A and B are shown apart, each in its own frame.
Chain A
Amino acid sequence: MAEKTYLQAISDGLRQEMQRDQRVFVLGEDVGVYGGAFKVTQGFQEEFGAHRVLDMPLSETAIVGGSTGAALMGMRPVAEMQFADFVSCAWDHLVTVAAKQRYRAGTPIPIVLRLPSGGGFSGGPFHSQNPESSFAHIPGLKVVCPATPEDAKGLLATAIEDPNPVLYFEHKHLYRRIKGEVPDERFTTPFGKARVHREGDDITVITWGAMVYTADEAAGRLADDGLSVEVLDLRTLIPWDREAVLESVARCSKVLVLHEDTKTGGFGAEIAATIAEHAFEQLDAPVRRVAAPDSPVPFAPSLEKAFIPQVDDVAAALRELAAY
């Protein structure tokens, strides 16, 4: 057990998977010689050789298409999109081919796409998005959004083991900012099991990724006012832990759904609708959503701050819910 950054946890986890399973290999733009845009695969080529750490041309289509073919041939590719935003270039291969292959032909496609996502550092509209809901909507894909170093490692191992295409959203803003204890030995974290990041009884915040920390900070402020807020980290969106959400709703009866993605059609809408469907009689207030406004992610730091939900925004929404 050692304290590691979120980024180190991903890197170490990936290295461990490659050490234990010859079928696992890495491919992406600048993942080899350069060690990756964020240095997740630094030193990998020296350790595993260029044939297992492939520098690819500037084509997400080729990366995802090649991964799909390799998976069909029995390999376990882990492809890196330099930024999650660019996965849209590979939409057709991912959504039309990889997601449906198992359904059409019965052949599993065990690929993992590492998707550095999220904003908070003035990356602008092309390098800051959180497109998880687009893929959560596609049957055949799994969507994973770790928030802690431990989960980053455990969920990566599970993703590589999974026979389906898994989109692994790693939040850039957590890379070096978040540290935590991570077991040295290999372990897996199950999909579809939420994690209680903070216990509480008055209001529950359902969130994932970097917003877990925003929610936690806001909850801390309300704790000073004597209100106990629960923070539930979903960890994975497909599948997502309905039971944990409904249980928390039944206990707290007031709900805030929080995500960094834009609001309309965001995955929070799915959660809110599910709560309305299955826990209507548990509600003591309308389900509240806090999310980014429906706009591209702005570049200007002041605008980006206004765009991404901040601790103040969440605390204000929580206070309103508490007063309802």
Chain B
Amino acid sequence: MSTGTQVEVVMPQMGVSVSEGTITRWLKQPGEAVTLDEPLLEISTDKVDTEVPSPGEGVLAEIRVQEGETVEVGSVLAVIAPEGAAAAEPEPATAPPAAESQAPEATTETEPIAPAAAGAPAPQTSPPPVPQASPPPEPQPQPAAQAGPETPGASAADVGSPAQQTHAEPQAGNGRTFVSPVVARIAAEHGVDPGAVAGTGQGGRVTKKDILAFIESGATAPPAQQPAAEPAAPAPQQPPVEAPVSTPEPQVAPAPQAAPAPPATPVAPPQPPPQAPPAPTPPPTPVVPVARGPEPVQPPSPTGEWEEPMNAMRRGIAEHMRRSLDTSAHVTSAIEVDMSKVVAARERLKQEYQRAYGVNPTYLAFVTKAAVETLRDWPWVNGELRGEKIVTRSFVNVGVAVSLEEGKGLIVPVIRNAQDLNLLGIARAIADVAERARTKKLMPDDVQGGTFTITNPGGYGTFHGTPVISQPQAAILGTYALVKRPWVVQDELGQDVIAIRPMMNITLTYDHRLVDGAYSGGFLRDLRARLEHWDGE
């Protein structure tokens, strides 16, 4: 309904140090309606991945920067035209079918991996399918096109916008192509091509009565368009781990379950913290080509290898991991912790926290709380080597590693001033940043300023690891699977007995330049004591 002028969508400035960004995914296609602040696209910078809300309302008229391309801050990415005003129109409708017919062919012949692509947003290697595919068929149909039988599907997407054509054609002269505002609106609402309606107005113009009669007669022909539009949009990128997304792809159903199973990627150890205590994924048998998301769209490879460009996040991780190993002297120490008291405390608090606050007191929250308290006595673990100086602090900004998208990529949002938070506050903060990380709502400040990091790959059952320190911090804590094990304890008479205890291994990987083995051992010992004698909250 809005009338107004075109609005340009520009690459936002996501923090002072960010100068460019990569388009990860368009959430809207040309011709689709957008409302103000509706998520329009996803971008990736070397700081964060985030959604960009629409700066205007109307119809996405044009996409100028395709998925996978990297452009400078301030570049125009797309144009939003006021609704009803015309846009670049037939494109969206014609394109998807084209791109689509390609994809299934290419893949079904080789391997069923293809459909597993599920939500994966077609990577950048292959030319961005949508826009590329369309131009050939589209520029031609200039002259009489409107009336042609092939238009209905196309125009259904957005009839209100036969702009370019309409403007180009009036010279043709019979006035037949002029679509009045009300007819444009009705056509768009019903997915009807006014060109297919017999006009009784001046010069054969389609009047409101004409199009209403046409619709009443049931002559609409949008079925072809419906499926076409859908595949353009699906791609559920966000909820990887805990919500095994059923693939939305309608037409290429066959392939065996494209399990969103994350396990096969041991590379990225850190794993989301909270909501995953009972490892949720029951991976059905060996679905080997696991997280093969993107590739399938590509043509079969003669060598059996595929290449795809790294996205900004992967590039950032790669650079940082390497630099960290080149910087710090990594040493890892591990300790076994009897979590009986924590398990009991959690059982007590779980219901109350859930009911009263909607917060799950995860084991990670307990460990974080204990670690933050322990850091008070071992400040170098929370410190930093800055040139020739040793930095210690009165505060703890805890980074919590959150993995994204089937184990592909991770981000470390920071909980500031964790020393001020009680168990409830920490649990809530972890849940908050994890959620925002997965929904791409983090801001650059959310991932900066950490002084200590905790990573929790235990959700997958791993019992040990050697995480890499997040520079310029001095240490990273790893928490692993909580498992019941036979354990030697003393009974009330001081006799050794074997008991079944919930045990967790915890590692501290530290920069040996700053932290000595004894110092780290002291930290781990105290941390264990806090957890084993948990009496807080």
Contact = CB atoms under 8 A, between A and B. Distances in A.
B202 interface: yes
Nearest to B180: A284
Contacts of B84: 280-281
A253 B202 contact: no
A283 B201 contact: no
Given A253-B208, A324-B207, A284 B182 contact: yes
A61 interface: no
A284 B3 CA distance: 17
Contacts of A73: none
A323 B205 CA distance: 10
A282 interface: yes
A316 interface: no
A280 B181 contact: yes
Contact of B202 (A277, A281, A283, A323): A323
B1 A281 contact: yes
A300 interface: no
Contacts of B184: 281
B159 interface: no
B185 interface: yes
Contact of A281 (B181, B201, B207): B181
B183 interface: yes
A285 interface: yes
Interface in A270-285: 277, 280-285
A283 B207 contact: no
Interface in B298-319: none
Contacts of B183: 284
A254 to B, nearest CB: 8
B205 A283 contact: no
B3 to A, nearest CB: 6
A284 B185 contact: no
Nearest to A252: B208
Nearest to A286: B180
Nearest to A282: B182
B181 A282 contact: yes
B473 to A, nearest CB: 58
A286 to B, nearest CB: 9
A283 B182 CA distance: 5
A280 B185 CA distance: 10
A323 B182 contact: no
Interface in B1-20: 1, 3
A281 to B, nearest CB: 4
Given A323-B202, A324-B202, A284 B208 contact: yes
B210 to A, nearest CB: 10
Contacts of A282: 181-182, 185
A201 to B, nearest CB: 10
A68 B3 CA distance: 44
Contacts of A324: 201-202, 205, 207
Contacts of B202: 323-324
Contacts of A285: 180
Interface residues of B, number: 14
B2 to A, nearest CB: 10
Interface in B302-342: none
Nearest to A276: B3
Interface string A98-138: 00000000000000000000000000000000000000000
Interface in A308-324: 323-324
Contacts of B201: 323-324
A324 B207 CA distance: 8
Contacts of B180: 283-285
Interface string B200-214: 011001011000000
Contacts of A284: 180-183, 207-208
B61 to A, nearest CB: 17
A277 B2 CA distance: 10
B5 to A, nearest CB: 14
Nearest to B203: A324
Interface in A226-279: 253, 277
A324 B175 CA distance: 11
| Residue among B182, B185, B202, B205 with max Cβ neighbours from chain A (10 Å) | B182
A283 B205 CA distance: 14
Interface in B161-185: 180-185
B208 A281 contact: no
A281 B205 contact: no
A216 B184 CA distance: 31
B205 to A, nearest CB: 7
A276 to B, nearest CB: 9
Contact of A280 (B3, B205, B207, B208): B3
Contact of B181 (A277, A283, A323): A283
A283 B184 CA distance: 10
A33 to B, nearest CB: 59
A282 B84 CA distance: 11
A118 B208 CA distance: 37
A285 B206 CA distance: 11
B516 to A, nearest CB: 74
| Residue among A277, A283, A284 with max Cβ neighbours from chain B (10 Å) | A284
Contacts of B3: 277, 280
Nearest to B201: A324
A164 B182 CA distance: 40
B486 to A, nearest CB: 75
A253 B182 contact: yes
A324 to B, nearest CB: 5
Nearest to B83: A281
A112 B368 CA distance: 79
Contacts of A323: 201-202
A285 B202 CA distance: 10
Contacts of B208: 253, 284
Nearest to A280: B181
A283 B186 CA distance: 11
A257 to B, nearest CB: 17
A169 B329 CA distance: 94
Contacts of B205: 324
Nearest to A277: B3
Contacts of A253: 182, 208
A38 B171 CA distance: 59
Contacts of B185: 281-282
A253 B201 CA distance: 13
Contacts of A277: 3
| Residue among B180, B185, B202 with max Cβ neighbours from chain A (10 Å) | B180
Nearest to B84: A281
A253 B182 CA distance: 7
A283 B208 CA distance: 9
Interface in B391-412: none
A122 to B, nearest CB: 39
B442 to A, nearest CB: 39
8 A-B pairs with the lowest CB-CB distances in the bound complex, closest first: A284-B208, A281-B185, A284-B182, A284-B180, A281-B181, A253-B208, A253-B182, A283-B181
11 contacts: A253-B182, A277-B3, A281-B1, A281-B181, A281-B184, A283-B181, A283-B182, A284-B181, A284-B182, A324-B202, A324-B207
Interface of B: 1, 3, 84, 180-185, 201-202, 205, 207-208
Given A281-B1, A283-B182, A324-B202, 14 more contacts: A253-B182, A277-B3, A280-B3, A280-B181, A281-B184, A282-B181, A282-B182, A283-B181, A284-B207, A284-B208, A323-B202, A324-B201, A324-B205, A324-B207
Interface of A: 253, 277, 280-285, 323-324
